[in-house]
Amino acid sequence: MNERSDYINMLESNAVDPTPLREAVLMSIGEDSRPLAAAEIMAAVRSRMSINKVTLYRILDLLVGKGLVKRLSAGDRAYRYGMAKTRHHQAHPHFVCSRCGVMECLEPGLFCIDIRKFQTNSKRIIKYVDVRFEGICESCIKAQK
Amino acid sequence: MNERSDYINMLESNAVDPTPLREAVLMSIGEDSRPLAAAEIMAAVRSRMSINKVTLYRILDLLVGKGLVKRLSAGDRAYRYGMAKTRHHQAHPHFVCSRCGVMECLEPGLFCIDIRKFQTNSKRIIKYVDVRFEGICESCIKAQK
DNA sequence: CAATACTTGCAACTAAGTTGCATATAGGGC
DNA sequence: GCCCTATATGCAACTTAGTTGCAAGTATTG
Ligand SMILES: [Zn+2]
Ligand SMILES: [Zn+2]
Ligand SMILES: [Zn+2]
Ligand SMILES: [Zn+2]
């Protein structure tokens, strides 16, 4: 998908010192089509170099804080991390498999939120909306046959 | 909202032996307008009687399994529990305050999901859709003024 | 009443993430 | 280069939310 230098560039243009571990973490997230759990990112990084789990969590916090990465809720107790700035820059809903826990990105424009209706009769401040489809993923359907 | 006997009835009509603890747990969930975290339910029950946390989690599992209670994801690492069978029986989106973590129920019909569009170009099986609004709740807005 | 099933409690465990503090590494000033 | 400081990483211990195993209490039934 991207070159190593692209990730270094993303880090630098967000005022993040591009250390090898940060680069590896961002690349692991960026090279996967799905948002990944911390444990999956750890495994991906560890296939190439050594990293401590605290360092990983701190890098994830940093990347989320800088807006490079999005922290997503999968409905279970582990967060998923995905690239924040996609080609189209559009928010999109996600799918989570309730059997294997994998999260997948869905096309944007799958749903419409009548945010005006909501805003008029509410004293809350809405920052964003999270739409999550839950069910069985393709590979789990195949596996059970 | 409801009488004690109503909760006993709900338990019995779902083939659940209405022990005092189960009744207290279901009542704590039913008497609050918001879905509650396990710790909040524990506090509510403990204001009237003694309960062990394992027992609470097992009762919650039981009630969720019987379809009396819904386990909801708040985007953080703790589940929320709300009554499954409301007066109108309709699915509805939820709001979660990113400052204090409170979850609130919103009116149904606030959004529309084009589920057909989704189903046609997907080999996944969709069980349900979860819509979560995130932002700042009314009492947190007041508190900061 | 004995045998059995169901319910609850206690301790220990787990998964995912966090905190405190020590060490390592990278730049600057001289 | 050497010293000083800042940033980055690692390790151990801790936390939160929930789970498991097993023992003890309670109810039910023949
Ligand atoms: Zn799956
Ligand atoms: Zn996505
Ligand atoms: Zn709030
Ligand atoms: Zn609700």
Q: Smallest Cβ distance to A135: which of B104, B124, B137?
A: B124
The two most distant CA atoms of chain A are separated, in Å, by 52
Instruction: Give per-residue pLDDT as tens, B83-99.
Output: 997 655 678 899 999 99
Confidence of residue B136 (pLDDT cuts 50, 70, 90): very high
Ligand nearest to the CA of A91: 2
CA torsion angle A43 A49 A54 A55 (round to 10): -130
Instruction: Give per-residue pLDDT as tens, B66-85.
Output: 999 999 999 999 999 999 97
Q: What does the pLDDT read at residue A91?
A: 83
Closest chain B residue to the Cα of A117, Cα to Cα: B110
Q: Which of chain A's residues have a Cβ under 8 Å away from the Cβ of B113?
A: 110-111, 131
Q: Which of chain A's residues have a Cβ under 8 Å away from the Cβ of B118?
A: 106, 110, 133
The CA A117 to ligand 2 mean position distance, Å, reads 26
Name the token pair of B22: 């189960």
Name the token pair of A55: 């360092």
Segments making up each domain of chain B, as ranges = 4-144
Q: What is the CATH number of domain A4-144?
A: 1.10.10.10
pLDDT at B113 over 80: no
Report pTM: 0.92
